[in-house]
Amino acid sequence: MRTQLDFRTPYAGPVHAVIFDWAGTTVDYGSLAPVAAFTELFRRHGVAVSDDEARVPMGAHKKDHIRQLLAMESVARRWKEAHGVEAGPEEVEALYSEFIPLQTEIITRHASLIPGAFEAVQSLKAIEIGIGSTTGYTREMMASLLAESKRQGYEPDCTVCADEVPAGRPAPWMALRAAMQLGVYPMAACVKVGDTLADIAEGLNAGMWTVAVTKTGNELGLAESDADALPRNELSARLEAAARRLLLAGAHYTIDDVSELPALIDSINDRLARGERP
């Protein structure tokens, strides 16, 4: 165990584990792969889904994501117009079966590490912090991404997928299983990092510190070149709006990208030493 504690003794730090999301956090700048897969899936069935609509349930188990998209008033209306009936459980299952190979193929096009992610992870490992990861992708979808990220030098100590727990985000089970695999407790010794509202909910429900990423993830939703091409005042305004949404969702901190994370660990350790809890 990394953390050994008598339950009667208040924990006073330090952080022993960081649990990262994948798309939009450590790989796939802008979280583009899931958006491309969902919009293409529905296009194949004669239903237009905008990028913004596809991003609303981001971070959830992909079957839940499909279910939530179909429950959106705008998408439900278009589905009924195209098919004459509302989508039900059978349609969800059929769409999900079709989605799995589609998403698996698209992931490989968006597998590059986000700039600064490798260095941030190495900095955390240097101070003996365990590196976990959770994802709304299934294990089948993750196979090629895990191989590609390893080729680039990023290999978390553990990865927990949405199909390996009773329920995906916002439930805490993936984060808790990652902590268990890392051998870290209490949950106050863990930091959950992600770019979606669902990530934040997952971390909070697990009793962990939560750090939300704004620039590289779902909230801004732009490829690196597109983000950098924005006028500075527009980019700043959009990042501030993203930070507000994520803080309102309960995030303890927001950062532009994970390169800023190592500096936050000292701040969290200070709060733990003062007796603060997530």
SS (H, E, C) the chain: CCCCCCCCCCCCCCCCEEEECCECCCECCCCHHHHHHHHHHHHCCCCCCCHHHHHCCCCCCHHHHHHHHHHCHHHHHHHHHHHCCCCCHHHHHHHHHHHHHHHHHHHHHHCCECCCHHHHHHHHHHCCCEEEEEECCCHHHHHHHHHHHHHCCCCCCEEEEHHHCCCCCCCCHHHHHHHHHHCCCCHHHEEEEECCHHHHHHHHHCCCEEEEECCCCCCCCCCHHHHHHCCHHHHHHHHHHHHHHHHHCCCCEEECCHHHHHHHHHHHHHHHHCCCCC
- Please state which of the ranges 57-71, 229-243, 253-267 shows the lowest mean pLDDT: 57-71
Please determine, for residue 172, whether its predicted confidence score (pLDDT) is greater than 60: yes
| 268 or 6, which is more confident | 268
pLDDT at 2: 53
Condensed to tens digits (0 to 9), the pLDDT of residues 245-267 reads 999 999 999 999 999 999 999 99
Condensed to tens digits (0 to 9), the pLDDT of residues 102-149 reads 999 999 999 999 999 999 999 999 999 999 999 999 999 999 999 999
- The Cα-based distances of 231 to 56, 162, 234, 241 in angstroms read 25, 37, 5, 16
CATH topology of domain 17-31+112-273: Rossmann fold (3.40.50)
pLDDT at 10: 77
Please determine, for residue 181, whether its predicted confidence score (pLDDT) is greater than 50: yes
Active site residues: 21, 62
Please determine, for residue 3, whether its predicted confidence score (pLDDT) is greater than 70: no
pLDDT at 125: 97
Can you tell me the distance from the alpha carbon of 61 to that of 13, in angstroms, rounded to the nearest whole number?
Answer: 32
Confidence at 12, pLDDT banded by 50, 70, 90: confident
Domain ranges for the chain:
17-31+112-273, 33-109
- Answer yes or no: are the C-beta atoms of 188 and 220 closer than 8 Å: no
- Answer yes or no: are the C-beta atoms of 132 and 19 closer than 8 Å: yes
Q: What is the CA radius of gyration of the chain?
A: 19
Average pLDDT of the chain to the nearest whole number: 94
Burial of 278 (0-12, 13-18, 19+ CB in 10 A): buried
pLDDT at 8: 62
Confidence at 1, pLDDT banded by 50, 70, 90: very low
Q: What CATH class has 33-109?
A: mainly alpha
Q: Which residues pair with 232 in a beta bridge?
A: none
Confidence at 194, pLDDT banded by 50, 70, 90: very high
| N residues, the chain | 278
pLDDT at 59: 87
- Answer yes or no: are the C-beta atoms of 22 and 7 closer than 8 Å: no
Confidence at 241, pLDDT banded by 50, 70, 90: very high
Confidence at 7, pLDDT banded by 50, 70, 90: low
**Once rounded to an integer, what is the mean pLDDT over residues 34-61?**
93
pLDDT at 211: 98
